[in-house]
Chain A
Amino acid sequence: MFENFAGGKRGLFFVVFGLVTAVLAGTSFAVVFYVGEVALEDPDEIIVDDAASPIYVNFQPEPEAVVSEDSYLAMGQYQAEFPMPQNVVVLEGLTTVEIIGYMLNHFSGGLGVNCTHCHALDNFAADEWDDPIGMRNKMVARQHLVMTGEINQNWLENDQLVSLTNLKQPSGAVMACATCHNGQAQPVAWPAEMDAFPNDFRLPLDATFSVEEPGILNVNANNDVSLDTVQYNQRVMYHMNVALGVGCTHCHNSRYFPSYEGVPAKNYSLHMLQMSAFINDNYSKYIGGQQPSCSLCHAGQVIPHGAAIDDAVLPPHIRSNPPEGLSIEELGLDASMYERYTEHDMSPDNPFYDQDAVSEGDEDTADMDDVGMGG
């Protein structure tokens, strides 16, 4: 029955047809398996690189890259001279060794700055020396320590997020210096790409973030909101999409957006929005008048890479309220202290810019661009 296969047009047809089929099928399988190799990683999985740092979720502080030899020598001398530190305002109850460890991992590592950013090397305890910029930086640092402590106390400490549901996420991480600074001395709270036309990702920090209130976050037609409110709402939602690098279904069962069915992350996001509004209300003037955006800390990650892995790695007054009787107002607010932040000027021409961090800073800026802010 196969005699016609040997010769003739039909035989040729089957040979060609078989070859084409084999090539197409082979290519298809190759593509599918190649894509499968690429795509097997679960996008929702939080990859925590334990080797990166025992302190941060997934951030590698590299103080040795920015702290000069002079600084190390000066630290050694100061530690030998004063086993207990002098003139400490916020970090009470720590020895000099503990403070140096904290400074190296959190300030030098988290901000990418040398000791001279805030200190006189001949006397670390001094509040006044011949560098006016350094003096201001030290005051700013103290205010930010108090701020971090208050934010942790009010919103993150004692597993407040975890208690919203009993599911795995989030991890119990809390705020540290690198959470916002992310290796930069001057983090930009709201990346320009986020609200550059046409992206226009909003975050209405003056709104009340509440599920019961109709409006920005509750757009069901039963609440009598208009279609332009829904449009506004979508921009808020895209802000969170982009900042966390997740789709809508991270927090929603999109068959019915208003519901909470089955998706605990919606509770976390509400808590975090309330925290953002709190930061905006209380600390905006302490971050140069900037508004906090979700991407300031998250930078494309569900759990910010710069967050402290656990509250135990932080000094007591950073994980909760500042020492008795000390408030951020008492540390004084001079608007000029934060001047440089309003300009977002990272060029070396800026006199406030830390020259020591130039190389590190450039790399970090490049990383931020890769996050995909929608520019």
Chain B
Amino acid sequence: MGYNKIITGKVIGEEAAAKGERQVIQRVLEGEKVTLLEMEAYYKKPGGTLMHALFGADPFDFWVGRFYVGTFGVLSLFGIFFGVLFYFYQVWVVEGTFNLLAARLDPPPVSAGLSLVSPGQPGFFWQLIVFMATIAFFGWLMRQVDISRKLEMSYEVPIAFGAVFTSWLTLQWFRPIAMGAWGNGFALGITHHLDWVSNIGYQYFNFFYNPFHAIGISLLFAATFILALHGSLILMSSNRPYLEEGNEDGFFRNLIGYSIGEIGIHRLALWVSVASVLFSNLCIFLSGTLVKDWTGFWNFWNDIPIWESVAFAGTAAVGAVIWRGAKRGTHLKDVDPIELEYGGRGLAGTALRPFNVPFLKRLFGNGQVGPIYLGVSGTVSVVAGVICSFIIIEHYLWLVDYNPIMFLRNFFVLSLDPPALAEGHTLGFTASWHGGSAWIVATFLLHLSILAWLFRVWDRSRKAGLGTQLFWSFLAAIFLYLVIYLIRPVIMGNWAQAPGHGFKAILDWTNNVSVQYGNFYYNPFHMLSIFFLLGSTLLLAMHGATIVAASRYGAYREAEEMMTEGTGTHRAQLFWRWCMGFQATSKTIHDWAVWFAALTGITGGIGVLLSGTVINDWFMWAMEVGIVAPL
């Protein structure tokens, strides 16, 4: 063995075989159940790190208890220790406060430019903390690379963590350098960083109109949605040994027409969560450097020279491409028999002859689209939803005098608003149809559609022999929806409390409700909801990346792995055990998933429900409880 040969578990296995010992992997192959601790002892061998590969030696290649240290771990520890030390020195000694919530750690003033301030000047400790934190994050990233190498996993986890790391780099390094002063960096401190976010947002007119912000936020919500779907589905099929993969796929195909499959959902999870971070980076980096006015930014939209006859041609061309693409899918001859079992006649049967889409197959590993189950609840849901959309779109057209070009051009700003309280309308049908009554009818139909779909989720879960976790996850999201559109407006006594139906209307409502009740950032339930929203995206990124990284060992077969853990699942668990000292199992990671996603909706709903009913001014509330940073 050459001195620079990478020492891995495989090599050690070969050595063990040469000594005539019975390998752990041999026992696995023979069908023997092997515990995680046995597997850990098998993998927990020196060698294989980046330092080994580059320099042939790694002086810190050892474990302390469960934690893997490594050279980069030492680097990370250095950053963590001094970063935390400087943080508390600034808070306790320099600011002289023990109120950690109200501490404020500001960067140097903008006038200091890109120079390093001297000790004693404002921002000195901010610079040290940011430097140390950057070292700590970098060390942690490289440590994950080392652990991936030791476990012979691919590098998806450090890639996902690297995406988050670029967020820190964008906020604290790239944007301040581009703006020409460290003073433009991200302020630290628990409520103070909320103030920073607020003031940056409103510095560039209205951050809600920042399209990259909108895409980033949409992806955060999409990540939470995906987490709820995936976590629920795995829990729904846990402890049901009679189930096969076809039950899960059949459930989702019957419900929404497509099942992404076991490996596909983890790939999607990784991509969506990483994309949400990258779009967020873009939205903050562009603000102040290239774009100073996100309202005026939208002038580009009206200036696009397609608003004459070309608009029709373009729409027709896009439609033709989609139609052509749909036709190219091949129809499947062999359909999973489990799915056909649910089939029947009339409403109690399936529609859409299943067909294969090669692109989806390549992307997610599952190309079959359809069949979709109709059912009474599904039919009610779709019909109510279509009528609701029709009312909304008819109102849009009415607003633009039925001019199709103006309809397309103004699509993002058109809205169907609730009856205005300023004109004296409360909960009755006192307004004219286009003055708000249309909103009441459309919203009622939307409630009906969503609740029918909720029942459909329950119904299909039961028929597919699965648990009902997805029903409860969906209910948590619907709670937030109903609070916003139904419960709170009824408590407040007027429909004007609810958002209108339209892109800009929803953004404006979010902005206005925050402005009206002091500042939503100081609403503790909003804080919790954001914590769970970002936490859901983090969990999704971690889980998706881990499973994809260990996918060649079959870690994605979670329903089976839950009962008999294979080497892929063991590696996935050992990764986090070595990285952060504890790990979930195939089942418990999905418990985390379901609860994080559900609590996003539940805490958000409580936060909205309390605003205006119990608390009128969240900033004043925050002042009373003493969590506001001094000015």
Contact = CB atoms under 8 A, between A and B. Distances in A.
Interface in B262-297: 288-290, 292-293, 295-296
A201 to B, nearest CB: 9
Contacts of A233: 515
A162 interface: no
B55 interface: yes
Nearest to A226: B421
Contact of A231 (B295, B299, B512, B617): B512
Interface string B520-555: 010000000000000000000000000000000000
Interface stretch (A64-72, A234-242, A346-354): A234-242
Contacts of B612: 221
Given A256-B519, A372-B293, A40 B512 contact: no
Contacts of A375: 299, 302
Contacts of B202: 247-249, 252, 254
Given A39-B179, A227-B513, A374-B299, A253 B289 contact: no
A38 interface: yes
B198 A247 contact: no
A4 B421 contact: no
A256 B198 CA distance: 9
A255 B521 contact: yes
A252 B496 CA distance: 26
B364 interface: no
Interface string A1-19: 1011000001000000000
Given A39-B289, A228-B422, A4 B4 contact: yes
Given A35-B178, A262-B631, A375-B302, A226 B290 contact: no
B410 interface: yes
Interface in B56-72: 56
B410 A198 contact: yes
Interface in A270-320: none
Contacts of B180: 36, 39-40
B421 A32 contact: no
B290 A38 contact: yes
Interface string B196-208: 0011011111100
A226 B3 CA distance: 75
A219 interface: yes
Size category of the binding interface on chain A = 35 or more
B330 interface: no
Contacts of B511: 234
A220 B518 contact: yes
Contact of A230 (B194, B504, B516, B521): B516
Contacts of B302: 375
Contacts of B76: none
Interface in A165-222: 197-198, 219-222
B516 A255 contact: no
Interface string B412-430: 0110000011100000000
Contacts of A39: 178-180, 288-290
Interface residues of B, number: 60
A310 to B, nearest CB: 27
A339 to B, nearest CB: 30
Contact of A238 (B205, B414, B521, B611): B205
A129 interface: no
Contact of A247 (B4, B205, B513): B205
B177 interface: yes
A372 B298 CA distance: 10
Interface centre among A35, A225, A241 (most CB of B within 10 A): A35
Contact of B295 (A219, A226, A261, A374): A374
B619 interface: yes
A234 B512 CA distance: 8
Nearest to A201: B295
Nearest to B53: A10
Contacts of A253: 195, 199, 631
A232 interface: yes
Contacts of B496: 226-228
A325 interface: no
Contacts of A83: none
Contacts of B591: none
B184 to A, nearest CB: 10
Contact of B516 (A225, A248, A374): A225
B390 interface: no
A256 B619 contact: yes
Nearest to A42: B110
Interface in B371-425: 410, 413-414, 420-422
A257 interface: yes
Interface in A102-126: none
A227 B513 CA distance: 7
A21 to B, nearest CB: 13
Contacts of A132: none
B98 interface: no
B295 A238 contact: yes
B455 interface: no
Given A253-B195, A254-B201, 5 more contacts: A3-B4, A226-B422, A238-B205, A242-B296, A252-B202
